[in-house]
Chains A and B, each alone.
Chain A
Amino acid sequence: MTAAAFVKSRYAPPALGLVSFVGFIALIELLIRVGLINRFIVPLPSDVIAAFPRVIVEEHVLYRFLLTATEAFTACILVTVVGVLGGVLLYRYHLLRLATETWVAAIAAAPLVLMYPLYLVIFGRSAMTIVMMGFSAGVAPVVLKTLEGLAGTRRVLINVGKSFNLTASQQFWKILFPAAMPTIFVGLRLGLIFSLINIVGVEFLINFGGLGQLINELAERYDLAGTYAAICFVILVSVCVFIIMERLERWLRPVD
C-alpha cells in the first residue's frame, strides 16, 4: 500500500490518533526530563506505565474496576429508563412540561455532587449512595434532550403517520421515538458523562468502593505514578460505556 492509498484508507484516522497520542506522551516525558514540567506534580509517563503491574496486583484494581463499572452501568440504566420516560411524560403532558421544564434545566446545571452528605444520610456509606449520585447527576440532561427530540419531530412525519391512520401507540413507536432517537442519544451521552464523573468523584469523596477510592488512597500516599495509572482505568470504564452506547445507537438507528 502506497502512502497516498494509506491516507485514504479506513486505517488512517485511528493510526493518526494513535501516533498523535504516543507523540503527546513522548513530549510530556521529554518536558519532564528536561525539567520544564515539575515531576512532583506530573509523574513520568514511563513511571506510570511501570506502575501498572503494581497497581493491578497489589491494589486489586480489577476488582475495583468491576465495582466502578457495575456502579456506572447501574446508574446508566437508571438514567436511561427514568430520563427517557421523564422526557416522554413532559412531551405528553403539556401542563407538566410548563410546570417543570425550568426546574429540570436548573437541576441539569446544578453541581449536584455537593449533595453527597444528604445522600450519605439517606443511603449510608454504600454503593447505593454512589449509584444514586450518578443517577441524579445524569438524569436531567436525558429528560431535556428526550423532550427536545420528541418536540422537534418534523410535523410532516407526524402527518404521514396520521395519513396512515396510526394509533397513538404506533405513532409513538413507529415515528416519534425513532425520529427523536439521535437527540435522545445526545442526551444520553451528556447524562452518562455527568453520571460517570459523579460516580468516581463520590467514590473519591466518601473513600468507598472502586477506582475513586483507589485514586484517593494512592494520592494520600503520594504515589503519583500509581494515581495516574488508576486514572487510566477510570478512562477505560468510560470507553467501555461509550462503546456499548455507540453499538446500541447503531443497532437502534443504523443511519441518520
Chain B
Amino acid sequence: MPTGTILVIDDIVKRFETPEGAITAVDHVSLGIAQGEFVSIIGPSGCGKSTLFNVIGGLTDAYEGTVTVAGERVRGPHAAIGMIFQEESTFPWRNVIDNVAFPLEIAGVAKTERYERARHFVKLVGLDGFERRYPSELSGGMRQRVSMARTLAAQPKILLMDEPFAALDEQTRLLLGDKVLQIQQQLKQTTLLITHNITEAVQLSDRIVVMTYRPGKVKRVVEIKLPRPRSSDIVSSEAFGRYVAQIWADLREEASRGLDDEEARKLREGESR
C-alpha cells in the first residue's frame, strides 16, 4: 500500500447469480490509494469495473472483502466518497446553481452560504455565467461538469468517477480531462477513475490498474511518471505514446477474450431462439 493511504480496497470478491450459474465479476481485488493520488482502473467491457465502482461507492452489498476510507469501513454510501456517474445525472428540474447546491441543501447549509459555496464550484468547473441555465440548455460536456461541481460541493475525501466522459466526443473528452487535471491540481483531490479509455487514463493518472476480463482481477499496476502539471498537450509526447502502447499490450489479450466471449454468447442466443 502507498504511504498515506486514504482508500483501501481489500480482497473484494463479488459474484452474481444468473440462470447459467454464479458469475464472479470481481475476483480478489485489492488496492490502496494515497491522499491526493489519481488512480485509474482500466479494463475491457465485462471486467467488473462498474461493479467495483458500485462496491466502493456503497451502492451494492453482498460482497466479500472490505472497503475502508481513512480507516473507517464503508457499509453503504459514505459521506467521504463523492460519485460521478457515467450516465447524465443532473437534475433536469433544477438550474445549474441549484444542482450544485443540492448536497449543501441536504446538509442543511444556510441559503446564502450554500449559494456562495455552490458559485465557487460552478466557477471551478468553468461554468460561471451559466448559473441560471437548466440542464436542457447545456451541452453534454457542460452537464457532466455540473455533475462534477455538485459532487465536489459535498467536499468528499475521495472522488469516484465511473467513465464520466464516455458519452462525449474525443475532443470534448480531452478538454474535460484538462479541466479535471486543473481541479485535481487545485484541490489535491484523491480520485479513482473507472474507464476503458487508455488515452484518458494515461492523461490523468498517477497509477493505472489494468484489469483482466471476467473474472475481473488486477493484471498489472502501471505507474505513470509523466510530469505534472499536465494538460492535453501531453498526448503528443513520446513518453505518453509509450505508456499507451504498454497498457494496450496488456489490455489487448483481455479485450480479445471479451470479444470472443461476447460473440459466442450471441451465437448461443441465436441458436436457442
Contacts and interface: CB of A to CB of B under 8 A. Distances in A.
A164 interface: yes
B132 to A, nearest CB: 11
Interface string B78-115: 11011101011101110100000011001000000000
B103 A164 contact: yes
B92 A255 contact: yes
B87 A154 contact: yes
Contacts of A174: 102, 106
A163 B77 contact: yes
A164 B85 contact: no
A256 B91 CA distance: 10
A165 B91 contact: no
Interface in B158-176: none
B187 interface: no
Contacts of B58: 162
Nearest to B160: A163
B91 A157 contact: yes
A160 interface: yes
Interface in A222-256: 253-256
Contact of B136 (A157, A170, A256): A256
Interface residues of A, number: 20
A162 B154 CA distance: 13
A159 interface: yes
B162 to A, nearest CB: 10
A166 interface: yes
B77 A181 contact: no
Interface string A147-165: 0000000101101101111
B185 to A, nearest CB: 24
Contacts of A45: none
Given A159-B59, A166-B106, A256-B136, A178 B82 contact: no
A175 interface: yes
Interface residues of B, number: 25
Contact of B59 (A157, A163, A170, A179): A163
B57 interface: yes
Given A166-B106, A174-B106, A253 B93 contact: yes
Interface in B43-80: 57-59, 77-79
Contacts of B103: 164
A253 B98 CA distance: 13
A175 B77 contact: no
B134 interface: yes
A29 B117 CA distance: 65
A154 B89 CA distance: 9
Nearest to A255: B134
Nearest to A177: B93
A255 B85 contact: no
Contacts of B151: 163
Nearest to B105: A174
Nearest to B82: A163
A156 B89 contact: yes
A256 B92 CA distance: 6
A162 B77 contact: yes
B6 to A, nearest CB: 18
A175 B57 CA distance: 19
A255 B93 contact: yes
Give the most central of B78, B95, B103: most A CB within 10 Å: B103
A246 B241 CA distance: 57
18 contacts: A154-B87, A156-B85, A156-B87, A159-B83, A159-B85, A160-B83, A160-B89, A160-B91, A163-B59, A164-B106, A165-B77, A165-B78, A166-B106, A178-B91, A178-B93, A181-B93, A255-B134, A256-B136
Interface of A: 154, 156-157, 159-160, 162-166, 170, 174-175, 178-179, 181, 253-256
Interface of B: 57-59, 77-79, 81-83, 85, 87-89, 91-93, 95, 102-103, 106, 134, 136-137, 151, 154
